Structures are given as structure tokens and as C-alpha cells.
Amino acid sequence: MKNIAVLCFASLSILLYPGCNINLDFGYEVIPVYDTIRSYPGGGGIFTFKLDCPTYVGYKFNLSLTADEKLHAELSKNTVSLDDPVFEVIIKPDKNCEMKDYSIKVSAKVKRSPNSNESGTSDVTVQMYNWDLSKETAYSKMCEFKNYLVDFNPDYKEIFDISHFAYATYPEILIVEHSTWLSDNYEVRLCYHVMIPPDDWSKIRIRKRNEINAELALTRDSAGNISILDIYDYPTFIGY
């Protein structure tokens, strides 16, 4: 009867989490918010993950990753737990990257007893393209939101340092330019329509680092009027 119960649990898990990297023996998984991004030599990228471990109260999971050294991949933190389950993997591809797909493997391990070393893994993919970013143009567009954002939340002042890491979010997407800016505390997505007035709108979305969901989105029309945008109406492409 015990074996049947274990088998049923495993079968149910497969049905509930098709395609997910779930640890069927111990009931936790490492879930990427999206599993594929585009990047380019000299560009960047960010993956957001959540550790789902409902039965692991009080335990910490050690994180590690395996990736091609040319991606310069790094974790936003070294451990996660039930109370602090979200983390990121940031890539900063060097200029010698090949135009191919790169795989990154992320692992979370927990030690619940001297003889156990339980782990769960997740694989994500970086697709490399030949692309670049006009950082100064993107920065000037972002600064059009500065007064509104700093009035809305003085903490947002930190995102307007031009020295922050920035990259094109969607290589080979034209007409609407997309960029991402990473400060210590925020991920900022910016997009703007490369057209003449009255069609030269822009939009911005802000997510606090190591959180799943964005906390604010805005839109700016050609006349400079800024208004709050539903976060889910901020334009995204190819799954992220």
C-alpha cells in the first residue's frame, strides 16, 4: 500500500507540473518565471526563479549554477528558503560569445540530515544574436519619467544613474525599442515607439529585485503626459 501511495504521488505531481523540474522524492522544485531569453555579445539578461518548497519550513537551500564562462553568469544570492524563495541569475555575455544557444543549469540543495543531500535543478536557455544598444538614447527616454517617479517614490532616484548595467531586452525586435536597466534594488524595463509625434509614446515598468512581480508601470504620450499603466499591459515579447 505504501508503494502504491508513493507511485500515486509521483503520477499526480507529473500531471500537476508538466515540464517542470520537480524533485518527486522530496516535493520541491526550482521554477523559472521564463526559461528562454535573447541576448548578444556585450549585452545582458536576467532570469527570475522561485523555489517552491512548502514542506521545508526552517530550511535553507544552497544555490549553484553551471554555465559557459563566456556568459559571466552570477546568482543574486547564495541561499533561499521558504520565507525568502525568489532569486535571479544575471548574465553579462562577453564580446567573444558565439551566435548559438547557451544552457544554464541552476541547482538548489538542502541538507536535512547528516546522510541527506537533496537537490532540485532547472535548466534555462540564452539565445545569442548579433545586436547592440544605444544606451544614451534609451537613458534620455527613461529620464523623461524621472520627476514623476521620484515624486511617486523617492527610492526610485537610484535607477537614474547612467552607470547602471543596461542592455537591449529583445535583440532583433524593431520599431519599438526595449531596454533593461539593473540597479542594486530594481529591474527597470523601458520601451519607446520609434516614430514621430503623435506616435512617439514610451512606457516603463519597475520590479524590485528578487521579487516575482513588477510593482509599477507607467506610460507617457507624445505631449509628455504620464499616467499609471496596468502592469500586465506593459508590452512583453517571446515569453518574458
Instruction: Identify the pLDDT of residue 27.
Output: 65
What spatial distance separates the first Cα and last Cα of the chain, rounded to whole Å? 44
Write the CB contacts of 201 (distance below 8 Å, at least 6 apart in sequence). Answer: 192, 193, 219, 220, 221, 222
- Cα–Cα separations (whole angstroms), residue 104 to 57, 108, 113: 28, 13, 29
The pLDDT profile of the chain, 240 residues, written as one tens digit per residue, is: 433 333 332 333 323 333 344 343 456 899 999 999 999 999 999 999 999 988 888 899 999 999 999 999 999 999 999 999 999 999 999 999 999 999 999 999 997 766 667 788 999 999 999 999 999 999 999 999 999 999 999 999 999 999 999 999 999 999 999 999 999 999 999 999 988 788 899 999 999 999 999 999 999 999 999 999 999 999 999 999
Quick one: residue 27, left, alpha or beta (phi over 0 = left, psi -120 to 50 = alpha)? Answer: left
- Assess contact for 169 and 133: CB atoms under 8 A: no
State how far the Cα of 192 lies from the Cα of 201, in Å rounded to an integer: 6
In the numeric block, the cell 499603466 is attached to 229
Q: Give pLDDT tens digits for 34-46.
A: 999 999 999 999 9
Cβ atoms within 10 Å of 28's Cβ, excluding its own: 23
pTM value is 0.86
Q: What is the pLDDT of residue 13?
A: 34
CATH architecture of 20-128: Sandwich (2.60)
